[in-house]
A = this chain, B = another copy of it.
């Protein structure tokens, strides 16, 4: 039996987890790792505040440790990469965050990445993370659509705002690749890319794509 990639949505909104799961379809291969998407039952409805971030770090580490026997890798499916380093410390298997992988993937698709956030309040946290990653020089800009995680499900309004924001990033800030800054945006990737005409990265896909290779190579902490 194949090892699992556990894609853990740290919030408890099942619709978000379902959206991620749907986005995983093309990455499921007969001979490849199983890709299992889970919600963190104790998580908040969305990771929007710093309190939300902190509240899930150790539960994520505990959940990961409980799954480690069957795991080939873990993906933390929230664009704040909550608990990334705690989970890495807790398990020997590879742990990837969707923010870091979404950004790193975008670096191979354009020269200046733009990020569409859900809320203004998330942006400073993301900027700190880009600084910690040492990739700020590649950032064109980040702008928010002003909708929270649960509001994301209203399709037309959300898409309209994402297209508007993506165009600002492209035309005013000079972005030539867009990263969607929330795991709950997966369903909007294709229409957004069609509207913008530049590559759009869905970060959960980016992270799982990178995780697949590590599972196949049986990677674990040196």
Contact = CB atoms under 8 A, between A and B. Distances in A.
A51 B61 contact: yes
Interface residues on A, range: 35 or more
Given A100-B107, A137-B137, 6 more contacts: A26-B216, A30-B30, A111-B127, A128-B132, A131-B132, A141-B174
Interface string A198-219: 1110000110111011101110
A32 to B, nearest CB: 4
5 tightest CB-CB pairs across the interface, nearest first? A209-B213, A30-B31, A29-B31, A111-B124, A134-B137
Given A96-B108, A138-B134, A209-B216, A89 B49 contact: yes
Interface in A20-73: 26-32, 49-51, 53-55, 57-58, 61
Nearest to A215: B26
B134 A135 contact: yes
A111 B136 contact: no
Which label, helix, strand, loop or mixed, suits the secondary structure of the A interface?
Answer: helix
A18 B135 CA distance: 34
B26 A86 contact: no
Contacts of A26: 216-218
Interface of A: 26-32, 49-51, 53-55, 57-58, 61, 83, 85-86, 88-90, 94, 96, 100-101, 104-105, 107-108, 110-112, 123-125, 127-129, 131-138, 141, 174, 176, 193, 196-200, 205-206, 208-210, 212-214, 216-218, 221-222
Contacts of A28: 31
B50 A85 contact: yes
A26 B137 CA distance: 35
A29 B29 contact: yes
B86 A50 contact: yes
A61 to B, nearest CB: 7
A40 to B, nearest CB: 14
A47 B113 CA distance: 26
Nearest to A137: B134
A180 to B, nearest CB: 14
A101 B110 contact: no
